[in-house]
Chain A
Amino acid sequence: MHLIAFAIRTLPAEVKNNWQRSLIIILCLAVGIASVAAVKIYTDSALSYFTGNVKEFVGADITVQLPGELTEDQENFLNNQTLGIITYVENYNQVAFNPFNRQKNMPVQVTVIDPEVYPLYGSMELADGSSAQALLDEPQAALVSASLFEQLELKMDNLVLVGNVPYIVRGILKETSVPDGFMGRIYTKTPPQEGVGTLGSRFAYIKLDEGKDPEIAKKEILEFFEPGGVSTYVEVSSQISRSAKVLGNVALIASLASLLLGGLGVSNVAQVISRQKLKQSALMKCVGGRTSQITLIIVIQIAFIGLIGVLCGFVLGWALTGVLPGLLKDLVSYNIPIKPNPNVFLQVSLLGLLVTVLFSVLPVLRFTKIRPLAIYRDDNPERLLSPESKLTSFLVIILLAGIFGLFIGLILDSLLAGIIFTFATLILTAIALGIIKLIIKLVLYLPIYFSTPAKMARRSLFRQSGRTAAAVLALSFGISAIVLISFIQTDVLSFMHGLRDDQNTPNIFALLDQQNGPPVESIVEFMEQDSRIESFSTMKLLTSSLEIVNDRLYDPTTASDSRSAILAMAFLIAAADPENMPTELNYVEGEPLNSDGQIVIEEHVAKSLGLKIGDRLGLRVGTDRIYLNLVGFYSNMQTGVNVTSSSYATKASLEGLSPEFSTEFLFARTKAGVSGEEVISSLRAAYPNMGFAFDVGQLINLFDTVFSAISRFMQFLGFFALASGLIILAGTMVLTKWEKRRETALIRCLGGTTKDVISVQLWENGVLSILSAGIGITFANILSMVINRYVLDIDFVFNKLTNTMAFVLVLLAVTAVGAVSLWDVLHERPLSVLRNE
Chain B
Amino acid sequence: MEILRTIELGKTYRDGEKETEVLRGINLEIDEGEFVAIAGPSGSGKSTLLGLLAGLDRPTTGQVFIGETEITTLPESRLAKIRGRMLGFVFQSFNLIPTLTALENIELPMILNKKPDPQRARELLDLVGLSHRSRHYPSQLSGGEQQRVAIARALVCDPPIILADEPTGNLDSKNSQTVIDLLLSLNSEKQKTIVLVTHDMDFAAKAQRIVHINDGRIS
List residues of A whose CB falls within 8 A of some B CB: 2-3, 6, 9-10, 13-14, 17, 279-280, 283-291, 293, 371-373, 375-376, 378
Contacts and interface: CB of A to CB of B under 8 A. Distances in A.
B46 to A, nearest CB: 11
A375 B81 CA distance: 18
Given A17-B98, A286-B83, A373 B51 contact: yes
B217 interface: no
A815 B27 CA distance: 65
B210 interface: no
A2 B116 CA distance: 7
A3 B93 CA distance: 26
Residue in B76, B84, B111, B153 whose Cβ sees the most chain A Cβ within 10 Å: B111
B93 A378 contact: yes
Contact of A287 (B51, B57, B108): B108
A14 B153 CA distance: 20
Interface in B84-100: 84-85, 88-89, 91, 93, 95, 97-100
Contacts of B205: none
B113 A10 contact: no
20 contacts: A10-B99, A10-B100, A13-B100, A13-B101, A13-B137, A287-B83, A287-B88, A287-B89, A287-B109, A287-B112, A288-B85, A288-B112, A288-B113, A289-B112, A290-B112, A371-B56, A373-B56, A375-B89, A375-B95, A376-B51
Contacts of A290: 76-77, 80, 112
Nearest to B101: A13
Given A371-B57, A375-B56, A284 B51 contact: no
**A interface SS class:** helix
Contacts of A280: 97
Contacts of B91: 375
A270 B23 CA distance: 38
Nearest to A301: B99
Contact of A288 (B56, B80, B97, B101): B80
Given A10-B100, A13-B137, A378-B93, A284 B56 contact: no
Contacts of A3: 111-112
Contacts of A283: 95, 97
Nearest to B93: A378
Given A2-B116, A376-B47, A291 B99 contact: no
A276 to B, nearest CB: 11
A734 to B, nearest CB: 19
A290 B157 CA distance: 16
Contacts, number: 79
A293 B104 contact: no
B56 A6 contact: no
Contacts of A293: 112
B37 interface: no
Contacts of A285: 80, 83
B132 interface: no
B96 to A, nearest CB: 9
Interface string B31-70: 0000000000000000100010010110000000000000
Closest 10 CB pairs of A and B: A288-B84, A289-B112, A287-B109, A13-B99, A372-B56, A373-B56, A373-B57, A288-B113, A290-B80, A2-B116
Given A286-B56, A287-B84, A290-B77, A17 B109 contact: no
A284 B80 CA distance: 9
Residue in A9, A283, A284, A288 whose Cβ sees the most chain B Cβ within 10 Å: A288
Nearest to B104: A10
Contacts of B153: 287
B114 interface: yes
Given A371-B57, A373-B56, A375-B56, A288 B109 contact: yes
Contact of B89 (A279, A286, A289): A286
A14 B97 CA distance: 11
Contacts of A375: 56, 89, 91, 95
A286 B54 contact: yes
Interface string B163-190: 0000000000000000000000000000
Contacts of A2: 111, 114, 116
A17 B112 contact: no
A344 to B, nearest CB: 35
A14 B99 contact: yes
Contacts of A286: 54, 56, 83, 89
Nearest to B15: A383
Given A3-B111, A375-B89, 12 more contacts: A2-B111, A9-B104, A287-B88, A287-B109, A287-B112, A288-B83, A288-B84, A288-B112, A290-B77, A373-B51, A375-B91, A376-B56
Contacts of B99: 10, 13-14, 17
Contacts of A376: 47, 51, 56
A288 B98 CA distance: 19
Contact of B112 (A284, A372, A373): A284
A289 B93 CA distance: 20
A288 B81 contact: yes
A653 B108 CA distance: 95
Contacts of B112: 3, 284, 287-290, 293
Interface in B111-143: 111-114, 116, 137
Nearest to A286: B89
Contacts of B88: 287
Nearest to B55: A372
A283 B91 CA distance: 10
Contacts of B114: 2
A371 B56 CA distance: 7
B132 to A, nearest CB: 20
Contacts of A288: 80-81, 83-85, 109, 112-113, 157
Contacts of B54: 286, 372
A230 to B, nearest CB: 66
Nearest to B51: A373
Contacts of B57: 371, 373
A6 B114 CA distance: 11
A378 B91 CA distance: 12
A287 B154 CA distance: 8
Nearest to A291: B76
A14 B95 CA distance: 17
A292 to B, nearest CB: 8
Nearest to B113: A288
A284 B54 CA distance: 14
A810 to B, nearest CB: 38
